[in-house]
Amino acid sequence: MKRILIKYHADIERIKKIEIGDWIDLRAAEDCRITCGEYKLISLGISMKLPRGYEAHVLPRSSTPSKFGIILANSQGIIDNSYSGDNDIWHFPAIAIEDTVIHKGDRICQFRIVKKMPKVKLIEVDRLGGKDRGGIGSTGRK
């Protein structure tokens, strides 16, 4: 079992792993009002020390756009285990898709830990040798 050390910077409900699903929910650590089109870093009120060799992938919950009117600005957040200082507070970079209010304690995103990419060697070649598939979307619609 891997251990994740958590430091709380706000009086929010403690993080827990639920039985169903592999992702762990994170909560807004502040109230904030965001207008449509506005960008806002929403504090999640925690810092973490991840297990050696792992990184965290942070994504919105599937209901976040419809319930809270925000999307994640960078599509997916990646937090490597070097971002583990006492004041390396996790945030949700939000873009509002409608005028909205996020309340402290709202479950706006989720994370999971994933093994980091192994060391790789990049080699430049003139040919790859595989068969061309024909471009983006080449497998069809259905």
Task: Of 28, 55, 52, give the one whose Cα is nearest residue 40.
Answer: 28
What does the H/E/C string look like for 33-71?
EECCCCEEEEECCEEEECCCCEEEEEEECCCHHHHHCEE
CB distance 54 to 81 below 8 Å:
yes
Tokens standing for residue 59 = 């994504």
Tokens standing for residue 133 = 């598939």
| Residues carrying an active site annotation | 80
